[in-house]
Amino acid sequence: MARITDLPRVKISFLSNHLNEALNPSIFVKGLRSFVRRTVKNQSCKQWLDEFPNRSQTDFDNSSQALKLWYGENYGFTESKNFVTIANTCFGSKTEKQKNSTN
């Protein structure tokens, strides 16, 4: 019997990026949020950045921002300053971002 680790890597396509937690994240409680951020940073960032090498932090942020509406309609999106996104997790610290923007 094949183990799950023996299966080829399968890319998952979503009906809509609204269903993609990496681009349209949920709100996590404080203790869980730090765990999720660390897990994304350690296990997902490299894959995302390898898969989309030409996308910038701004591109990922714009994708997340666009998902606040469901094709132009309000669907109950809740704002949070604490989302864990590809844009705010995979591109280094604020200090690094500021240094890179001035070079």
pLDDT tens digits for 5-45? 554 555 556 678 888 888 888 888 988 999 999 999 999 99
Say how far apart CA 26 and CA 83 lie, in whole Å: 7
Give 68's DSSP letter: T
> Structure pTM?
0.71
The whole-number pLDDT of residue 5 equals 53
Say how far apart CA 71 and CA 18 lie, in whole Å: 10
